[in-house]
Amino acid sequence: MKRLHSFILKSFLGPLTFTFFICMFVLLMQFLWRYIDEFVGKGLEWTVIAEFLFYVSATLVPMALPLAILLASIMTFGTMGENYELTAMKAAGISLQRIMKPLTILIILISLGAFYFSNNVMPIASLKTTNLLYDIKKQNPELILKEGIFTNDLPKFSVKVGNINKDNGMMYDLLIYDHRENRGNTNVTVADSGTMVTSADKLTMNLTLYSGNIYKDIKTKNRKKNKNHPSQRIKYKIFKQNISLPGTDLKRGNEDRFKNSYRMLNLGQLVGTEDSLTNKLIKEKESLSKNLITRHYFQKEPKRILKDTLQAHLVTEQTLDADSLFNSMSSPNKQITINSALNKGRKARENISRKNGELEGQIKWIRKFTNEWHRKFTLPFACFIFFFIGAPLGAIIRKGGLGMPVIISVLFFIAYYIISMTAERFSKELVLTPFWGMWLSSIIILPLGIILTYKATTDSSVFNIENYIDFFKKINPLKFLKKKNA
């Protein structure tokens, strides 16, 4: 039996490793295609790109691992079914459950590892990825000049070039706006031709211009009041200037700036942050309630009106209540009271509407932390479920390789992913509770795994098309009508 277990494990680990890296590659290419504009023209070193890809790959494990397990299990059992190895094992008295036993233990270990990865490694990888992507977005791009188009890639300069000689790098009809003084277009340089050469350390740009003019506005104290201010024109044959460049080295920011985001926390941190945010929300609700009671719902009358009303009640010795106080007022005072109450009511409604939007935003933000807490458990559970879908499914269809298993795996995973994303969105929009939002896809897929395992154990021909054709032939309505007429 140990030799059989070793054979089954070797048959599964090969496809699992292969499909896992294939899934990672596909998901990584999709991610790069999404953010390709952030990398083009930044002059990033290969070490920075490799570091970014490493962190991104770690964040893609939750999607790649369940799909790889599903695909590998279908391929493994499909190949064994196609080669009649499953048939030989069953003929020897070994049930499908015993055949799946070593792989079930392996999947349990992988699920536990996935939980550890999701709780301890994923937050760090997400933090590193977010920080590095933010720094890359802020990185200034390399200077790329295009003919007839203003380029703002050079810091504090706007450059337009008419024509560029690609053989010697000479540029013609240059127009340069210098914005280093932050006073608008007050320094303009025009040149018939010129060159721009970057230094070896890429820290300065050596600018050489030929036959042109420099137009400057002279800064004066009363420039805003006096529209007629002096200007300066400098004519030159050769003009040279060194312009400082920011350099191509990536400037790293503080890594703690995103550490409180819900994707960067483990289970304990998520619970602590969620509790603090919930307590803050409760205090804001209590503050809103007190504010409405003291400032809008119960409002003191003006002293003059209140004094006259109390004196009238003291003379008549009536019981003080709201209706009697209001009825004892004169008509002008009643109108003033009604208008005041309406204004207070409108202000209260506006305050409630505005505050309700703020509180709803806070509730949605707290909901993200709750969803992320559940996500730590959905990844290992998805690995477990997909194995019990793929293994019996492969035993039923009895097809190995990358043909039919890939199609079936992708269809199952797309259905699972669509249900998962839709339910999670409903949870974020407060339509579903966090439990149902994060576990609905697993709850729907779980019965399918149980049914397929049962069908594979009983050797049911689920995917035999002839059985379905025979079934529909039995319920042929034309045949039923003929019997009725007879």
Q: Quick one: pLDDT at residue 300?
A: 55
**What is the value of pTM for the model shown?**
0.68
How many angstroms separate the CA atoms of 74 and 67, rounded? 11
Q: Quick one: pLDDT at residue 317?
A: 46
pLDDT > 70: what percent of the chain? 78
| Among the listed residues 422, 430, 426, the one whose alpha carbon sits nearest the alpha carbon of residue 361 | 430
Please enumerate in sequence order all residues whose Cβ is within 8 A of that of 485, keeping only pairs 6 or more positions apart, or say none. Answer: none
Please enumerate in sequence order all residues whose Cβ is within 8 A of that of 16, keeping only pairs 6 or more positions apart, or say none. Answer: 68, 69, 72
Q: Quick one: pLDDT at residue 475?
A: 61
User: Backbone dihedral region of 151: left (phi > 0), alpha (psi from -120 to 50 degrees) or beta?
Assistant: beta
Q: Quick one: pLDDT at residue 485?
A: 57
How many angstroms separate the CA atoms of 292 and 351, rounded? 9
Q: Quick one: pLDDT at residue 285?
A: 82
Cβ-contact 196, 206 below 8 angstroms: yes
What residue ranges of the chain have pLDDT lower than 70?
Answer: 1, 40-43, 139-144, 153, 201-202, 219-229, 245-255, 295-326, 400-405, 459-486
Q: Quick one: pLDDT at residue 318?
A: 47
Q: Quick one: pLDDT at residue 467?
A: 56
How many angstroms separate the CA atoms of 54 and 132, rounded? 11
Q: 């460049």: which residue's tokens?
A: 245
How many angstroms separate the CA atoms of 174 and 163, rounded? 9
Q: Quick one: pLDDT at residue 339?
A: 81
Amino acid identity for residue 95 in this structure: S
* Structure token digits, residue 356: 């309700």
The model's pLDDT over 90-121, given as tens digits with 9 standing for 90+, comes to 787 787 788 888 888 899 999 899 899 888 88
The model's pLDDT over 201-211, given as tens digits with 9 standing for 90+, comes to 667 778 888 88
Number of C-beta neighbours around residue 480 at 10 A: 9
Q: Domain map of the chain by residue range?
A: 2-139+374-472, 150-244, 267-371
Please enumerate in sequence order all residues whose Cβ is within 8 A of that of 68, keeping only pairs 6 or more positions apart, or say none. Answer: 16, 19, 20, 22, 23
